[in-house]
Amino acid sequence: MSKKRVIVCDTIHQKGLEILSRCEDIEFVDASKEPKDKLLEMIGDFDVAITRSSTDVDEKFLEKAKNLKAVVRAGVGVDNVDIEGCSRKGIIVMNVPTANTIAAVELTMAHMLSAARSFPNANNDLKLNRVWKREKWYGVELKGKKLGIIGFGNIGSRVGRRALAFGMDVITYDPYIDPSKAIDMGVEYTTNFEDILQCDFITIHTPKTKETIDMIGKEEIAKMKEGVRLINCARGGLYNEDALYEGIKSGKVAYAGIDVFVKEPATDNKLLDLENISVTPHLGANTVESQEKIATQAVEQAISAARGISFPNALNLPIKEGEVPNFVKPYLELIQKIGYLAAQINKGYIKSVSIDAEGDVAEYLDPLKTFALVGALKESMGEKINYVNAEFVAKERDIDISTQKVINRSEYKNKIVLKLTTDKDAISIGGTIFGDTIEKIVSINKIKLDFKPKGNMLFFSNKDKPGVIAYISKTLSDNNINIADFRLGRDDHGEALAVVLTDEVVPKELLEELRSYENCIWVAIATL
């Protein structure tokens, strides 16, 4: 029996290489020192590749990877991996999402202490300039200060626990968790983002999604306390860098601690020109312990994948040919989009997800459930959710999951309906496939519709009275937003729903204006 072959494309901790060397059924090659052009020539001979940020798993890579079955990204981020391209080629993509948790938490605390006491500046003044000016470096104490934590997941919650030990008052904003997770720890929970902006220190720990990019911008900084201190050890771009630069330069932001940047390496970033900021070159995972954990977990995943035993933390576990009929596959993609759409419209802490299916597709409720959960949880978790961990995460969050085969009473041969209930509201979205692949949404909250789930969408629920269409059209026109398509539906109880496809995303300010219209029931935006 021939050995399975694993290639290590980037440098990992020696412990990982030692584990590979002890596997008698695995042949591995450490190609971390090879030039990238040579690596591309080698990759076609291997079953599994272990990569880090230095190797792009892109079109060129995949073109050469003729025999590759799996890619293990030794770390959390998969920005340099073409997941869709891998999926098309049947290559499973895995990452190592929790190995660097403590390292990231402790780096956040280091930046928080630096922001409070200007340690890097004081160190440089004495060590490099040989200046002894104690009065220049007055800081503030953490004790008694209010810390706002945006995102209270694995890392944010641990930062909160450590901040409490420093005697800080801690408040968190995270609409996607059960509030009791924070409250039981002694952390205040808020649903009002403005509460975070009034804190003395603010740290952010969210995935990078369309909702969180530029989450802190010019308007948010303007609402903050004078002398606020900001920390970002999560993802570059969660703070708008131009707004952050101006905030620090003006003195509104007394100090910032930044480990991540929009463009890396960030050697020419203008933030580096400012004095009252401490910066590190993306060191969130850079501890000996973290690197060892990342390497050992990545190698163990690679070995399991090579042996075909399991694919831990798979981000794109493909459907094996023969397991489901071809007609079902478009419905799996559709139910995932519906889940994502529902979570964008009905934002909040998800309490339950239910799926009704009618027709032949109802025989495949288990895969429908998995794909639906991936879509529903993507809005809050971004790249952290995948087809392997979706049900586990849902159970961990006490999300009630149910599926039901229903009698086919609709005009469609097959139909799927997903109902998503949050702490705010509930929404039900139905869809079907026309022909072999044309995806259509055919109902929202029992109002019949007909539109493709694609692009920028504005949803406007209203009392069924004259003038609403004209109001929506004029408001968008006045704000220079072009309408690509306009779909309408109504029920028998005096309510109507407009789905407006626009060329660009409707801004939040305009959303508030639409919401204030006298006939508006609810309004939301979504992008697919």
Q: Yes or no: say if 295 and 10 are a contact pair by the CB < 8 Å rule.
A: no
How far is Cα 503 from Cα 522, in angstroms, rounded to an integer?
A: 21
How far is Cα 77 from Cα 167, in angstroms, rounded to an integer?
A: 33
359: left (phi over 0), alpha (psi -120 to 50) or beta: left
With CA atoms as reference, report the closest residue to 305 among 428, 425, 297.
Answer: 297
How far is Cα 329 from Cα 345, in angstroms, rounded to an integer?
A: 25
Q: Yes or no: say if 49 and 7 are a contact pair by the CB < 8 Å rule.
A: yes
Tell me if residue 411 is catalytic.
Answer: no
Tell me if residue 235 is catalytic.
Answer: yes
Buried b (16+ CB within 10 A) or exposed e, 501-523: bbeebbeeebeeebeebeebeeb
Tell me if residue 205 is catalytic.
Answer: no
Reported as type and span, the H/E element at residue 344 is helix 329-345
How far is Cα 268 from Cα 77, in angstroms, rounded to an integer?
A: 23
How far is Cα 282 from Cα 494, in angstroms, rounded to an integer?
A: 55
DSSP state of 321: B
Whole-number Cα distances in Å, 413 to 232, 326, 356, 432 = 50, 15, 14, 9
**309: exposed, middle or buried (C-beta count within 10 Å: 0-12, 13-18, 19+)?**
exposed
How far is Cα 306 from Cα 48, in angstroms, rounded to an integer?
A: 6
Considering 264, 275, 289, 323, which one is annotated as catalytic?
A: 264
With CA atoms as reference, report the closest residue to 170 among 182, 153, 184.
Answer: 182
Considering 220, 229, 282, 439, which one is annotated as catalytic?
A: 282
Q: Yes or no: say if 262 and 237 are a contact pair by the CB < 8 Å rule.
A: yes
Q: Yes or no: say if 406 and 430 are a contact pair by the CB < 8 Å rule.
A: no
Record the tokens describing residue 506, joined without a space. Answer: 């409707």
Please give the span between the terminal C-alpha atoms of the chain, in angstroms, as a whole number.
46
Neighbouring residues of 344: CB distance < 8 A, sequence distance ≥ 6: 379, 524, 525, 526, 527
Considering 52, 111, 158, 235, which one is annotated as catalytic?
A: 235
Residue pointed to by tokens 């004259």: 466
The CA R_g of the chain, rounded to the nearest whole Å, is 25
* Max Cα distance, the chain (Å): 83
Catalytic (active-site) positions: 235, 264, 282
